[in-house]
């Protein structure tokens, strides 16, 4: 079984890969922007969840904004399994209606966020 850190790294890679593929198909195919997007993805740990964000940074290195991609459950609960992917309900909280996948099992994500139900 894959460890949590490796599975989170695979999730970040999947998000960045989806953005690169989307960029390549678009009429604005700026692969430099795709590389920057991949660098701006970050993970922060909370009490119950890992939060995946895109930290947008200006050319001079200043953080200009942050967008939440989604959340990942850190430990089993009554409702969710460790590794469940949750959509964001807000900047600091996940939507707890249903998991969108699990980082230890097969899942499909988009660069814009976890897939809808």
pLDDT digits over 63-113, tens only? 678 899 999 999 999 999 999 999 999 999 999 999 999 999 989 999 999
Q: Say what the pLDDT of residue 9 is.
A: 96
Query: Helices (DSSP H) in the chain: which residue ranges?
Result: 4-25, 31-40
| C-alpha torsion sign, points 10, 16, 22, 24 | negative
Q: What does residue 72 show for φ and ψ, rounded to 5 degrees?
A: -130, 130
More confident residue, 80 or 27: 80
pTM of the model: 0.89
Q: Say what the pLDDT of residue 55 is.
A: 86
Q: Say what the pLDDT of residue 92 is.
A: 94
Pairing of strands 113-114, 109-110: antiparallel
Q: Say what the pLDDT of residue 60 is.
A: 73
Q: Say what the pLDDT of residue 34 is.
A: 87
pLDDT at 19 over 90: yes
Q: Say what the pLDDT of residue 1 is.
A: 55
Cα 4 → chain centroid? 14
Buried b (16+ CB within 10 A) or exposed e, 87-108: bbeeeeebbbeebbbbbbeebe
DSSP secondary-structure letter at 94?
Answer: B
pLDDT classification of 16: cutoffs 50, 70, 90: very high
Q: Please, what is the average pLDDT of the chain?
A: 90
Nearest by Cα to 52 from 117, 116, 114, 115: 114
């Amino acid at each position: 079984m894959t460890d949590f850190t490796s599975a989170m790294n695979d999730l970040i890679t999947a998000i960045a890969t989806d953005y690169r593929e989307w960029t390549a198909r678009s009429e604005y195919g700026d692969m430099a922007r795709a590389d920057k997007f991949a660098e701006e993805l970050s993970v922060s740990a909370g009490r119950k969840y890992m939060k995946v964000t895109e930290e947008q940074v200006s050319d001079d290195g200043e953080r200009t904004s942050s967008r939440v991609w989604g959340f990942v459950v850190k430990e089993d609960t009554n409702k969710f399994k460790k590794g469940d992917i949750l959509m964001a309900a807000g900047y600091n909280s996940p939507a707890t209606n249903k998991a969108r996948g699990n980082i230890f099992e097969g899942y499909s994500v988009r660069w814009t966020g976890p897939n809808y139900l």
